[in-house]
Amino acid sequence: MAEKAAAIDALRKVPNWINGQVAASDSDRYGDVFDSATGERCAQVVMSTEADVDAAVTAAQEAFVGWSRTPVLRRAKVMFKLRELIDRDRAEIAALIAQEHGKVLHDADGSIQRGLEVVDFACGIPHLIKGEYSDQVGTGVDTWSMRQPMGVCVGITPFNFPAMVPLWMFPLAIACGNSFILKPSEKDPSCALKWAELLHEAGLPPGVFNVVQGDHVAVNSLLADERVAAVSFVGSTPVAEHVYKTASANGKRVQALGGAKNHLVVLPDADMDQVADALVGAGYGSAGERCMAISAVVTVGDSAEPLLEKLLPRIAALKVGPGMDNSNDMGPLITAEHRDKVRSYIDLGEEEGATLVVDGRKHEITKSPGYFLGPTLFDHVTSDMRVYQEEIFGPVLTITRTGTFDEAIDLVNAHEYGNGTAIFTRDGDAAREFANGIQVGMVGINVPIPVPLAFHSFGGWKRSLFGGSSIYGMEGVRFYTRLKTITSRWPTGIRAGADFSMPTM
């Protein structure tokens, strides 16, 4: 017992980063971080207190004064340097993700790449943030507008992309002239420290980027702090809704991206080899722990049987194992608790009467000590089943059979989530109708995971996004700045006397 306590105490601690350095905390709460492929504790993360949050906000508020006045070219230079440093250390960052999250190295590296592309975009901030100018809008009157930073911005991020999702937020926020506090997921907190170190090395002044580790205590304290101007949240829908409501009620600008149930509609004319390849990657990649994972397949007409014929051998061939082994296709789930929750959905699907075609509970890998579950496939799933309605967030695909294209569209549109969706077909008219009529924020046509590139913006509809503003791209620039419009004239253009009517030109 004493031996065990000593071992836990000796574990690596994941601290806060405040005002340009690692910051001590008085917290007596620590959370365990697990190596998801072995089930062993690999670190302990500090659960920040209100005092820690206060220190971070104070540092960020002070740093904002100088940083917001720093010439935009110098802010861009920090981004150029950051991209170089992330590239230098990407193997180390991928290994951190593989250990704490469980992603296979090649997938972890891909997620770093997609985040890095937002840093690339932020390097163009001098162009992105420049305003508009209208000469002579009236006699001797000029008008121009500019975008000014918001102040202290906060990012609260989920476990499933410890690199990519923070990178969706802080590069643009900082390039726009804001200071930033990142509250990463307590389940895989180490990447956040890496961002802090790299930004420091890139020359970012102390206090512009801070990390507050922890759980709802830190989050709620950040949401209550009146010095925080804007909050970006990515996570599950119930928490997104809570963050959106609380932050809005406290007068903050807020974007809160929530959960998903992404449908892939298969028309009978689709190339079934392509559909099956797309489905194994989009359904089981990253163990289904992606907000853009395909989790619900909707077959139209007689497409289910030919699809199953192609899909089943591919599922059987999937290689499941530790993320550190790059030959694997799919790694473990994040925690034992999450693995058990996903497993309980497989139990539920059976109880609800769906046909269990592939049972991930029986996969050989589940005998290993990590948090593994094999790929699972349900057929004949109907829209009244909870396995169809709820986000499972694991390697579980469901097939719902529909008779017509219209029925498939109605099914997707009736779902409460509207993050991503895809259609596979050779029919251009059907694809066009789908793109126009579907009530979902991101649509793929023969593309299973249509995550927009950094120069577009990412965001769902319905209960997948609260607050209206998508993340990164120009939406991100707009979110992290506020518009100011100036109208000016000089003494020679001013007529004598007061004017009491509405000014017109």
Task: Give the footprint of ligand NAD on this chain (CB under 6 A).
Answer: 156-161, 165, 183, 185-186, 215-216, 219-220, 234-236, 239, 242, 257-260, 291, 391, 393, 419, 460, 464
**Number of other residues whose CB lies within 10 A of the CB of residue 355:** 12
Looking at residue 286, what DSSP letter applies? G
Q: For the chain, how far is it from start to end, CA to CA, in angstroms?
A: 82
For ligand NAD, the closer CB: 256 or 377:
256
Least separation in angstroms between residue 216's CB and ligand NAD is 3
| Number of C-beta neighbours around residue 215 at 10 A | 15
Minimal CB distance to ligand NAD: which residue? 235
CA distance 377 to 452: 28
Cβ 444 to ligand NAD, closest distance in Å? Answer: 15
Are 156 and 504 in contact, with CB atoms under 8 Å apart? Answer: no
> Helix (H) and strand (E) counts for the chain?
16, 23
CB of 35 to ligand NAD, least distance (A): 18
Q: Which helix (H) or strand (E) holds 363?
A: none
Q: Nearer to ligand NAD by C-beta: 121 or 393?
A: 393
Contact 348, 381 (CB under 8 A): no
**Cβ 381 vs Cβ 354: under 8 Å:** yes
- Which residue carries 């420049």 as its tokens? 130
Closest contact distance (angstroms) between CB of 239 and ligand NAD is: 4
Smallest Cα–Cα separation from 38: which of 382, 321, 262? 321
Nearby residues of 360 by Cβ (< 8 Å), 6 or more positions away: 343, 346, 366, 373, 374, 375, 376, 395, 396
Q: Give me the least distance between CB of 3 and ligand NAD, in Å please.
A: 31
Q: Are 85 and 45 in contact (CB under 8 A)?
A: no
Residue 429: its H or E element: helix 428-437
- We find the least distance from the C-beta atom of residue 257 to ligand NAD, in angstroms, to be 4
Q: HSE-up of 64 (CA within 13 Å, CB side)?
A: 22
Task: Report the residue number, 149 or 158, with the smaller CB distance to ligand NAD.
Answer: 158
Which residue lies nearer to ligand NAD by CB, 219 or 280? 219
Name the residue nearer to ligand NAD (CB basis): 299 or 464. Answer: 464
Q: Closer to ligand NAD by CB, 265 or 440: give it.
A: 440
| 126 phi/psi in degrees, rounded to 5 | -60, -35
Is 123 among the catalytic positions? no
Burial class (CB in 10 A: 0-12, 13-18, 19+), 132: exposed
Distance of alpha carbon 96 from alpha carbon 163, whole angstroms: 10
Select 160 or 457, whichever has its Cβ closest to ligand NAD: 160
Euclidean distance between CA atoms 124 and 175, whole angstroms: 9
CB of 466 to ligand NAD, least distance (A): 10
| Active-site residue, from 123, 153, 191, 291 | 291
The residues that are catalytic are: 291
